[in-house]
Structure 1
Amino acid sequence: MTPQVKICGLTQPRQARDCADLGADAIGLVFFPKSPRNVTVEQARTIVAALPPTVAAVGVFVNASFDVVMERVIRCGLSMAQLHGRETPDLALRLLNEGVGVIKALFVDGTPGLNDAAAYRADAFLVECAKGPLPGGNAMVWDWGAARDFGTRHPLVLAGGLTPYNVADAIGAALPAAVDASSGLEASPGHKDLDKVARMLAAIRKTGKAYAGRRLTPVFRPRGEDFDG
C-alpha cells in the first residue's frame, strides 16, 4: 500500500523502459516547446513503443487544443493526458469521453487552484506550487502538507521538488495516491540518473506504514496493449 509513481520528462526509449523495469507506474512525455524536455511526435512514438503495456504513457500538455491533444494521443499511443495549464473543464470532459485518461494540474499558489477541482472531471489532480519560470515544479521544494486535506477528497498526485532524499517526507506530509518526479531524478534535462530513480522507488516502497487504515486507488491508466510505434 504505497503511492503510484510517475517519472516525467523522459526523452529516450531505453531510459523510459529502464524506469518501467525499476517499477514506475507511469511515464510522462512533455509536449511543450519551451521545455528542455520537449519531445517530438516521433520521439514519443518510439518511447511508448518501448514500454510494457502495464505502464501508463502520459502526455503533458500546456494549453493545447483538443485536436492537438487527440492527435498526439492517437499517433503516439498515449493512454492519458496531463493538462498542465489553464485548460477548461470542457476540454477535460471531451478527452474523457474519447476514452483518454485525464490528470489536471492545480496549483497551491496559482491558477487554477485547489478550489477549482470541483469544476473538472478527471482521473486525478496533480498538485504543486506555481513559483517558477515554466509550468511544472521547477525543482522547487514546497509545503507538501498543504495538499493533504485536498487528497482526502480527490485523487492526489503530488509533484514539485521531489528527490530520492525527500520523497518519504513529502509522502508522509501529504499522503498522496501517487507522486510525480522529473528534474529531481536527472543527470541533465531530459536524461534520467537511473541510480536516483532506483533510490526514489526504494524510498517510496518504505512508506506503507503511513497509509495504515487507508485505501489507495490507482490513478494511472495503463495502455493495456502493446503499441508498435
Structure 2
Amino acid sequence: MGATVKICGLSDAQHVKAAVSAGARYLGFVFFPKSPRNVSIERAAKLMVDVPVGVAKVALVVNADDALLDRITSETLVDMVQLHGSESPERVAQVKARYGLPVMKAIGIAGPEDVAQIERYAGVADQLLIDAKAPKGADLPGGNGIAFDWRLVQRKYWPCPWMLAGGLAPDNVAEAIRLTGAKQVDVSSGVESAPGIKDDRLIAAFCAAAHAAN
C-alpha cells in the first residue's frame, strides 16, 4: 500500500501529462515570481484544462493577498490552495472562507522546536505539508532540495491529513515513507534535471517508488 504523490512546480504540458500518467494524484502550480517554477495565471489556466477529474490541481502561493488569489481562483480550474509562506492560522481560515476551496498549509521543520507549531494549523487547515525549513536568507520557502530529520515526525498523527516534503527523490522516498508512516508525499526539485525543468523519467521513477513503498 504505497503513498499518494504530489508533483509540484509543473510548468509544461508534457510534464503535466507525465505526472498524470505516472499516477500522481496532486499537481502543483507555483505562483511565486522568485521561483524558477513560477507560472503565469494564463499559462497555468491552460495547463489545468486537460488534467483529468480526480487529480487535484493545487495553486501554491507565498503570503499572497486577496487580489492574487481572486485572480487565480476565478481564472483557473484550481481545486486547492497551498499556502507556503508565513500565513497565520487566522489567514488560513480567511482563505478557506473566502474561496470555499480546501487549503493546504506548508510548515517548515528544522528541529524539534518547529514540530509544535504543527498543532496550531492542524485544526484549521484541510491538509498540512510538512516540509524542510528553508535555510536563512533563502529566496524560496520550499523547493530547495533539502531534507529534515524525518524522525521528528515519525508516526505522528494530526487531526487532518498531512503530506511529507523536503529533499525527496526517487532513491529515498521509500525510506522516508517507511520511517515516517507518511501516506502522502510531495516532490519538486527531486524530479528535475535542472532548477524548474522536470524530467519525465524521474517523475515516473518517483511515483513508482512511492506507490510500491510500505
Q: How does 1:82-97 map to 2 (within 5 A)?
A: 82-97=82-97
Distance 1:100 1:14 in 2: 27
What does residue 172 of structure 2 align with?
166
Once the two structures are TM-superposed, the CA of residue 184 in structure 1 deviates from its matched residue by 0.7
What does residue 58 of structure 1 align with?
58
Q: How does 1:142-153 map to 2 (within 5 A)?
A: 142-151=148-157
What does residue 39 of structure 2 align with?
39
* Residue identity opposite 2:71 in structure 1: E
Distance 2:100 2:90 in 1: 15
What does residue 129 of structure 1 align with?
132
- 105 and 146 in structure 1: CA distance in 2 versus 1, 3 angstrom threshold: same
Q: How does 1:1-229 map to 2 (within 5 A)?
A: 1-97=1-97, 98-109=99-110, 113-120=114-121, 121-132=124-135, 133=138, 134-151=140-157, 154-207=160-213, 210=214
- 189 and 50 in structure 1: CA distance in 2 versus 1, 3 angstrom threshold: farther
Once the two structures are TM-superposed, the CA of residue 137 in structure 1 deviates from its matched residue by 4.1
| Structure 1 range deviating more: 34-43 or 129-138 | 129-138
Once the two structures are TM-superposed, the CA of residue 66 in structure 1 deviates from its matched residue by 2.9
Tell whether the 8 Å contact from 1:80 to 1:103 is kept in structure 2 after alignment: yes
* Residue identity opposite 1:123 in structure 2: D
Per the normalisation by structure 1, the TM-score is 0.84
Tell whether the 8 Å contact from 1:141 to 1:162 is kept in structure 2 after alignment: yes
RMSD: 1.9
Per the normalisation by structure 2, the TM-score is 0.89
Distance 1:113 1:49 in 2: 38
Tell whether the 8 Å contact from 2:125 to 2:160 is kept in structure 1 after alignment: no
Distance 2:198 2:207 in 1: 14
What number of residue pairs does the alignment pair up? Answer: 207
Question: Which stretches in structure 1 are left out of the alignment for 5+ residues?
Answer: 211-229
Once the two structures are TM-superposed, the CA of residue 154 in structure 1 deviates from its matched residue by 4.3
Distance 1:194 1:79 in 2: 24
What does residue 224 of structure 1 align with?
none
Question: Which stretches in structure 2 are left out of the alignment for 5+ residues?
Answer: none
